[in-house]
Structure 1
Amino acid sequence: MPVLLYLLAAAVFAQGTSEFVLAGLLPAIAADLDVSLGQAGLLTSAFALGMAVGAPAMAAAGRGLSPRWTLTGFLTLFIVAHVVGALTDSFGVLFAARIVAALANAGFLAVALSAVTRVVPAERRARALSVILGGTTLALIAGVPAGAFVGSALGWRATLWAIAVVSLPALIAVLAATPTRPETGGRSGTAATLRRELATLRRRPVQLNLVLAILVNAATFCTFTYLAAIATGPAGLAEPAVPVLLGVFGVGAFLGVSAAGRFGDQHWQRLIALTGPLLALGWVVLALAAASPAALWLLALSQGALSFALGSTLIARIMATAHHAPTMSGSFATVALNVGAIVGPVAGGIAIEATGVRGPLVVSAALVLAAVFLGRIVPASRRLAETSTHR
């Protein structure tokens, strides 16, 4: 794999840490800035919403520029937003800084994913994408726990400073190693227009993969968001064990992304067919056995692996089926990831209020089952229609 992919993964690691770590710092932020915990919680929602909206907007805005300058610009903006957030005493300024950081993160990830299509051949793209997405899983394993430790020891502002500092080497590396030629050949180039690229969204395979990725990612974050409540509730784990449990889930996620990278190019159909039903079954089993600490520890690892193996494979399929949108396909994948990250916690919150802490597990199972059903029935219906037409 080209060294550039690992440099991009390092930046995605810092950005993934920023996206997830704030949830553990909300009580300290609320107390320091004199706002309610619910108001502080808007910071996480704002980031996810900024990612979902920002991905296509930022990718479209930078499509006529070279990857070097778009990636460098987005990463610089991301760093500046964290510096501003670390310095401010105003919740409004911090809220705005989080939105700016999310927009920069979205733009960076969208361009980075699209850059994969330029630096590796088609038969190795799933593996290349797994390297970049591995940055997110490493953020879950190491970045988030480290950020939470820094925040508890030195304050939440120190965590934002740390994220900015960690991003600096990635910024220098991206500036030095990223290709300079614009993806489209310039704003007046002869490549596909933005309208033509967006028309790719009307293709059925692209639409199906987007929906499947949203459902699977929503299922993942539906339970992951409330895993601490499940662990300290039915399973009866002590609070100090929760970060370790989240780390176990992150290890599983890393293994899943690695598996998707290894098998996702040649055997993506088998990978989806295998991991989908197993993932749904795992959520059902965990809902039934949530009171068992042993089951929780084991399934945290397996569900993390299955969730990210399936999710990463679907992201690769979005990129593959949207190959006619070379500058925008990465933004399509980024939107799918973050719409799922918005929908999942909301659905889980509704379920936990209505049925208790097992509710998110049931919702996760239902979301994956819906994805399995759509993944089977839609292609089958299409083949049947094509057969009828040929007759």
Structure 2
Amino acid sequence: MSELVASDDVELTVLLPCLNEAETLEVCVTKALRAMEELGVVGEVLVSDNGSTDGSQEIATKAGARVVHAPIRGYGGALLNGIAHARGRYVIMGDADDSYDLSNLGPFVEALRAGHDVVMGNRFKGGIAPGAMPPLHRYLGNPVLSWLGRRLFGLRNVGDFHCGLRGFNRDRIRDLELCMPGMEFASELVVRAALNGYDIVEVPTTLQPDGRSRPPHLRTWRDGWRHLRFLLVFAPRKTLIWPGLTMFVLGMIGTTILSFGQVQIAGVGFDISTMVYTCLAMLVGAQLLLFGVFALLYGHNEGITDQHQVARWSRFVRFETCTAVGVLLTLVGLAGTILAVTAWGRTGFGPQELGETLRVVLPSSTAIGVGITVLFSGLFASLLSLRRISTPVSASPVPTDELTATRG
């Protein structure tokens, strides 16, 4: 992210992403300016405009805000651009639809001054006015996604994962090099902050009905899925590695036991048909496990996860290790196959006893399948581990479309 030279006198930037917010933008800017004046905070209101065609830029300028053009479309694109241009040491971001209480920024400022890296608003603690949040969001979407965030990333202090009113230390967030251009930017910010050990706290805030006459930019199912996908992808150990390892081990145990014959448990018989699924569990489990490690390697290369998180698992997908394990499993599978063919040959390659044959053929073919998968996974992991050497280029970006100066 490009960093602009900021004025040392500016403590706070209130950042408002904007796309055709002419109906509510003026009142949002006015509230934020008045709140900073009452708090005695030297700050600015920065509107990061995403290509408005309704005169939002002029409205923001007349109300006392500074406006910059966001070349990348989307909620995240506007916020990334605003963070890059912010002059304040701290940034408080909020929507420009007059739903968040921009007149009450005191709790956020106090928490930021206390040294917290990220200060999340919690609408469930502060109060949600009737009609401010659709029931589907209030009772399903937000609680489920917030619960997942707490479970996957250890965010025990975050009860409202997707509150749009939040503050943060500008330089600390810039260091994360966030990149999501859409609505999932809200998840990326808190997840990446958590993964990097940032100090995250919550303060109560309120939510009022949207002040606009048009529908909001948020699309319930599309953006909900994007948030969910982001959360799952950023927690590969809990969503891929551990489930995959568990499935593989259970499948291997079941396959080994059933290869010796039928098993009775509590009067229920398990035989060849069950072995088909235990073999399938081995194949699927191995792939989930390997995909999870690939995700960790990719995250490390992209600066999402640190070396400590990757080190434990990366040893298992080294090219040499995977080659040895893959070749060994393939040879075991081939030995079983030869054994089955030899037994078939003794009968003159005629009709076979299907049950006894499958007890050898199924584990053997599974071992070959897993072995080849592991073998080529080592090659793929080695490609992921290659680091491109490049010469860093430093440049001083020029502010774009700055329409007003900082307010003291």
Same-fold status (TM-score > 0.5) = no
More contact order relative to length (CA 8 Å, sep ≥ 6): 1
Larger Rg: 2
Q: Between Structure 1 and Structure 2, which shows a larger proportion of strand residues?
A: 2
Which TM class, normalised by the smaller chain length?
under 0.3
